[in-house]
């Protein structure tokens, strides 16, 4: 795995006073946000980029609520958010917007992806193991509802799974139902 790693920098934020370090994997530039004093068994959240949610506050998903919850928690409990640049469950922004257009016509999130020729979820997590090894982290408390994330982390002990369940709204309730019923998320 050919990965370029940045220096560490300070990032004071509204959620806490963090360190940040970028990991460049091919064209993708991921960001690790972590507490100044990382503890031995840190809380780790693996968050995949969602421009519409994270930056624009879209109500079609729960990404921004989850990201804010995770940043607050890693500040309180000295953990890490691994922010992966795999927009739209890794189909990219343009395809994601096309999928949203199909959802406007009544398809659900999985049907829309399939119509565009993609799997329901194209994300991968190999780089997560690389990053945790880089930080010499052997045991984590993983903040996730997604079994794919639990299963994809190799060689690192997950001593606890912490759920991350956000309140639904009228725009994302169906989406969260699909995540739970058809994608196996632990909601």
Which spans of this chain sit near Zn ion (rule: CB under 5 A)?
A: 50, 53, 61, 63
Q: 55: exposed, middle or buried (C-beta count within 10 Å: 0-12, 13-18, 19+)?
A: exposed
Q: Which is nearer to Zn ion, 7 or 170 (CB)?
A: 170
Q: Which is nearer to Zn ion, 48 or 75 (CB)?
A: 48
Active-site residue 123, yes or no?
yes
CB of 72 to Zn ion, least distance (A): 18
Task: Measure Cα distances from 159 to 107, 119, 138, 139 in Å.
Answer: 38, 30, 10, 6
Active-site hit among 104, 121, 174, 180: 121
CB of 46 to Zn ion, least distance (A): 14
Let me know: does 159 contact 48? Beta carbons within 8 Å: no
Q: 92: exposed, middle or buried (C-beta count within 10 Å: 0-12, 13-18, 19+)?
A: middle
CB of 179 to Zn ion, least distance (A): 11
Q: Which is nearer to Zn ion, 36 or 184 (CB)?
A: 184
Active-site hit among 7, 123, 174, 180: 123
The span from the CA of 168 to the CA of 16, in Å, is 26
Q: Which residues are catalytic?
A: 121, 123
């Amino acid at each position: 795995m050919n990965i370029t790693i940045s220096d560490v920098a300070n990032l004071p934020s509204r959620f806490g006073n963090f360190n940040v370090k970028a990991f460049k994997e091919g064209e993708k530039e991921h960001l690790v946000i972590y507490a100044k004093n990382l503890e031995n068994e840190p809380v780790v959240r693996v968050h995949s980029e969602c421009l519409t949610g994270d930056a624009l506050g879209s109500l079609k998903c729960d990404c921004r609520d989850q990201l804010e919850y995770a940043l607050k928690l890693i500040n309180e409990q000295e953990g890490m958010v691994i922010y992966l640049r795999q927009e739209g469950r890794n189909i990219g922004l343009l395809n994601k917007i096309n999928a949203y257009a199909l959802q406007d016509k009544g398809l659900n999130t999985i049907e829309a992806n399939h119509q565009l020729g993609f799997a329901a979820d194209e994300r991968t997590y190999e780089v997560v193991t690389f990053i945790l090894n880089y930080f010499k982290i052997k045991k984590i408390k993983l903040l996730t509802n997604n079994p794919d994330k639990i299963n994809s982390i190799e060689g690192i002990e997950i001593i606890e799974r912490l759920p991350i369940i956000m309140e639904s709204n009228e725009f994302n309730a169906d989406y969260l139902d699909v995540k739970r019923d058809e994608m196996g998320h632990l909601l």
